[in-house]
Amino acid sequence: MAEHEYDVVVSGAGMVGAAFAALLATTEHGKNLRIAVLEARPFVMPDLSKSFDPRVVALTALSRKLLEDTGAWEQIAARRVCPYQRMEVWEADGTGHIEFDCAEVRQPSLGHIVENALVVEALWQRLEALENVTLLCPATVVDLDRQPEGVAISLADGSVINTKLLAAADGAQSKVRELCGLQLRQWEYGHHAIVTTVTTEKNHDFTARQRFLPEGPLAFLPLQTETGDCHQCSIVWSQQADVAEQLMALDDDAFCETLTRAGENCLGNVVAVDKRYKIPLKQRHAVDYVVPGVALMGDAAHTIHPLAGQGVNLGFQDVIVLVEEVERAVSRGLSPGDMWALGRYQRRRKPHNLGTMAVMEGFKRLFEKQPLPVRLLRNDGMNTVNRLGPIKNLMVRQAMGLL
């Protein structure tokens, strides 16, 4: 093999790309593949000794299992994670209220809140330890030449890498998606998410809370320090763009006061807030995930409103399925980028991703400003589901990735 030839190249070493490379590199046939991972950003780990990463995700049991299989979970758990055992969802515009408890589905938790930076750091350390993986960073994909036998990838530094499969996990603005001419359906939610870490008067008691306001949902995701302190939460506050702008302009005291009111004092007063970030929210879905020699994964293939915390969980399911299909192709003597395998990957993932996106869109619309009869029905519906054990359990198991 020439120096710049690999069986599989992954563009983007965020959570999805790094997890794909780490999992594939250790499967029965994957461990014989030469894998390169290209990441545009220099890897600089933020100093998280005194604060939490403002970007966190709620991981399902299935996503945790994937991270266990990559060997990264042990390190993440040893550093800092917060299991959540209960979830409370209620609406501002009525009496609708629903609660989920892990005991109802006989699980130790409903999921884990983890900081994005800690997940990426642990996965990168795994990649560095794997002999058949080469991590190239910073390395930015700028062009592609797709040939019947594979793909030639041009990097910003002028070098060229040849591969049989390019697995693109280069995020929502995917360069690979653009270079392959893969069409995107997208629409604005009209929402911006304000994310930050807050300190609250009361202990969060390992409960994730979400209040649906007519302008958008507000989530308090529980965090836990290394010493076990439970007075901090990561918030995701989705708001109309102009309102989000006004909230960003408030000083810390006024922001804490406004947030306390918006969350109905569910954790007492919000007493401190870290630096705030505002992220525009957009729904995107690639019409096709694959072309010969190339497959999209994670945010490169789909982005979704964070209201149910499903984005990276869907991306991790793409990872599991693409690894299975590449493994199956290689075990039959086919190329890892064989179109039969890529077609199967697309057929298995697209309906599931699309279905989840449709349900989330439905939820978002349902909780937007609605006429009184819809609001009454919504209240009633939530309270009824809350009383119906089997239906509620089914919803929880589905959301946890247990089905």
Q: Could you tell me the smallest distance in angstroms from the CB atom of residue 205 to ligand FAD?
A: 19
Dihedral sign, Cα of residue 327, residue 342, residue 317, residue 52: positive
Q: Which residue in 387, 380, 385 sits closest to 398, CA to CA?
A: 385
Please state the closest distance from residue 373 (CB atom) to ligand FAD, in A: 32
If the CB atoms of residues 15 and 341 are measured against ligand FAD, the closer one turns out to be 15
CA angle 175, 277, 306 (to 5 degrees): 65
Q: How far is the CB of 363 from ligand FAD (least distance, A)?
A: 14
Token representation of residue 173:
């603005």
Residue 332, judged by CB atoms within 10 A of its CB (0-12, 13-18, 19+), counts as exposed
The least distance separating ligand FAD from the CB of residue 208, rounded to whole angstroms, comes to 9
Complex with ligand FAD: residue 118 or 193, whichever CB lies closer: 193
For 156-171, give one letter per residue: b (16+ CB within 10 A) or e: eeeeebbbbbbbbbbb
What's the token pair of residue 168? 């693109």
Please say which residue, 15 or 218, places its beta carbon nearer to ligand FAD.
15
Interatomic CA distance for residues 24 and 21, integer angstroms: 5
328 vs 363, beta carbon nearer ligand FAD: 363
Distance separating alpha carbons of residues 97 and 116, to the nearest angstrom: 30
Burial of 133 (0-12, 13-18, 19+ CB in 10 A): buried
Cβ 375 to ligand FAD, closest distance in Å?
26
The upper half-sphere exposure of residue 79, i.e. CA atoms within 13 Å in the direction of its Cβ, equals 19
The SS3 call for residue 14 is coil
The residues, any chain, with a CB within 8 Å of residue 351's CB and separated by 6 or more, are none
- In DSSP notation, 72-133 reads -HHHHHHH--EEE-EEEEEETTSS-EEEEEGGGGT-S-SEEEEEHHHHHHHHHHHHHH-TTE
Give 182 or 312: the residue with its C-beta nearer to ligand FAD: 312
Shortest distance, CB of residue 305 to ligand FAD, whole angstroms?
A: 9
**Nearest residue to ligand FAD on Cβ basis:** 14
Q: Which is nearer to ligand FAD, 260 or 313 (CB)?
A: 313
CB-wise, 68 or 380, nearer to ligand FAD?
A: 68
Tokens (6 digits) for 84: 């959540």
CB of 326 to ligand FAD, least distance (A): 18
Taking the complex as a whole, the smallest distance from the CB of residue 219 to ligand FAD amounts, in Å, to 8
Query: Shortest gap between Cβ of 133 and ligand FAD (angstroms)?
Result: 15
- d(C-alpha 8, C-alpha 335), whole Å: 10
Nearest residue (CB) to ligand FAD, 175 versus 209: 175
Which residue, 312 or 329, is less far from ligand FAD as judged by CB? Answer: 312
Q: b/e map of 228-238 (b: 16 or more CB within 10 Å)?
A: eebbbbbbbbb
Q: Which residues here bind ligand FAD, judged by CB under 6 A? A: 11-17, 38-41, 57-58, 140-141, 169-171, 175, 193, 195, 236, 279, 298-299, 306, 309-313, 315
Nearer to ligand FAD, 270 or 304 (CB): 304
The DSSP bridge partners found for residue 10 are 37, 167
State in angstroms the smallest separation of the CB of 16 from ligand FAD. 3
Find tokens 């302190």 and name the residue. Answer: 229
